[in-house]
Structure 1
Amino acid sequence: MKTEHVNQIASAVNAVKATDVKNFYFVACGGSMAALATGDYFLSREISVPSKVYTSNEFVHMNPRGLGKGSVVILRSHSGTTPETVAAAKFAREKGAVTIAISMDVESPLCKEAEYIVHYNYKDGSDVIDGETGVYYSLIFGILNALTPNEKYERLLSQLKNLENLFETNKKLTYDRAFKFGSEYKREKLIYTIGSGAYYHQAYSFTSCLLMEMLWIHSNAIHSGEYFHGPFEATDFDVPFLIIKGEGPTRPLDERAITFAQKFSDKVEVVDITELDYAGIDEDLKEYFGPAIAGAVLRQYADGLAEHTGHPLSVRRYMWKMEY
Structure 2
Amino acid sequence: MALRNFNLEKYLKDGANTYAQRANIEAMADHVSEKGFDNLVILGIGGTWAEWYPVVKVMEHYTKLPVHLENAAEIMVKTDKDFLTEKSCVVTASASGDTKEILQAVKMVKEMGIPVYGFTKNAETPLAKLLTEAVYNPCGDCEDSYLMYFMFALRLLCNRGEYEDYPRWADQMKNVHQNLVRIREEFEPRAKELAQKYAKEPYTMFVGSGVLWGETYLFSMCILEEMQWVRTKSVTSADFFHGPLELVEKDVPLFLVKGEDEYRELDERVERFAKTVTDKLEVFDTKAFDLEGIDDDFRVICSPMIITAILTERLAVHYELVTGHSLQFRRYYRQFDY
Report what 2:5 is aligned to: none
Check the 8 A contact 1:120/1:135 in 2, yes or no: no
Report what 1:105 is aligned to: 122
Check the 8 A contact 2:154/2:163 in 1, yes or no: no
Shift of 1:178: 1.2
Aligned counterparts, 1:11-26, within 5 A = 11-26=27-42
1:168 to 2:181 alignment = yes
- The Cα offsets for residues 121-165 of structure 1, whole Å up to 9 and x where unpaired, read as 327xxx999x43332222122112112254322211111101110
Check the 8 A contact 1:79/1:108 in 2, yes or no: yes
Shift of 1:235: 1.2
Report what 2:325 is aligned to: 311
In structure 2, distance between residues paired with 1:235 and 1:81: 40
Structure 1 consecutive aligned stretches of length 4 or more whose deviation exceeds 3 Å:
1-4
Report what 2:59 is aligned to: 43
Secondary structure, aligned partner of 1:274? helix
1:60 to 2:76 alignment = yes
In structure 2, distance between residues paired with 1:4 and 1:200: 28
1:96 to 2:113 alignment = yes
In structure 2, distance between residues paired with 1:242 and 1:258: 10
Amino acid at match of 1:317: R
Q: Compared with structure 1, are the counterparts of its residues 273 and 7 closer, same or farther at alpha carbon in structure 2 (3 Å cutoff)?
A: closer
Size of the alignment, in residue pairs? Answer: 320
- The Cα offsets for residues 14-52 of structure 1, whole Å up to 9 and x where unpaired, read as 232124422212212211111112221121121011112
Check the 8 A contact 1:224/1:254 in 2, yes or no: yes
Report what 1:72 is aligned to: 89
TM (norm. structure 1) is 0.93
Check the 8 A contact 1:35/1:201 in 2, yes or no: yes
Secondary structure, aligned partner of 2:242? coil
1:9 to 2:13 alignment = no
Amino acid at match of 2:29: V
In structure 1, distance between residues paired with 2:36 and 2:142: 32
Q: Compared with structure 1, are the counterparts of its residues 221 and 19 closer, same or farther at alpha carbon in structure 2 (3 Å cutoff)?
A: farther
Check the 8 A contact 2:258/2:283 in 1, yes or no: yes
Shift of 1:196: 0.5
Check the 8 A contact 1:8/1:116 in 2, yes or no: no
Secondary structure, aligned partner of 2:189? helix
Could you tell me which of 177, 189, 197 is aligned with 1:184? 197
In structure 2, distance between residues paired with 1:7 and 1:95: 29
Aligned counterparts, 1:126-275, within 5 A = 131-275=144-288
Which fold has the larger relative contact order, with Cα–Cα distance below 8 Å and residues 6 or more apart in sequence? 2
Check the 8 A contact 2:248/2:277 in 1, yes or no: yes
Unpaired segments ≥5 residues, structure 2: 1-15
- The Cα offsets for residues 79-137 of structure 1, whole Å up to 9 and x where unpaired, read as 010111011112122223341121112211111111110222327xxx999x4333222
Shift of 1:7: 4.7
- The Cα offsets for residues 284-306 of structure 1, whole Å up to 9 and x where unpaired, read as 11111111121111121122211
Shift of 1:233: 1.4
Check the 8 A contact 2:119/2:135 in 1, yes or no: yes
Check the 8 A contact 1:212/1:218 in 2, yes or no: yes
Secondary structure, aligned partner of 1:269? strand
Amino acid at match of 1:100: Y
Amino acid at match of 2:318: G
In structure 1, distance between residues paired with 2:337 and 2:208: 33
Q: Compared with structure 1, are the counterparts of its residues 4 and 113 closer, same or farther at alpha carbon in structure 2 (3 Å cutoff)?
A: farther
In structure 1, distance between residues paired with 2:123 and 2:273: 47
Tell me whether 58-67 or 74-83 shows the greater mean CA deviation: 58-67
In structure 2, distance between residues paired with 1:6 and 1:170: 24
Shift of 1:268: 1.1
Q: Compared with structure 1, are the counterparts of its residues 133 and 253 closer, same or farther at alpha carbon in structure 2 (3 Å cutoff)?
A: same
Amino acid at match of 1:315: F
1:293 to 2:306 alignment = yes
Could you tell me which of 303, 312, 316 is aligned with 1:302? 316
Percentage of matched positions with identical amino acids: 28
Could you tell me which of 20, 26, 29 is aligned with 2:45? 29
Shift of 1:6: 4.0
Check the 8 A contact 1:247/1:287 in 2, yes or no: yes
1:119 to 2:132 alignment = no
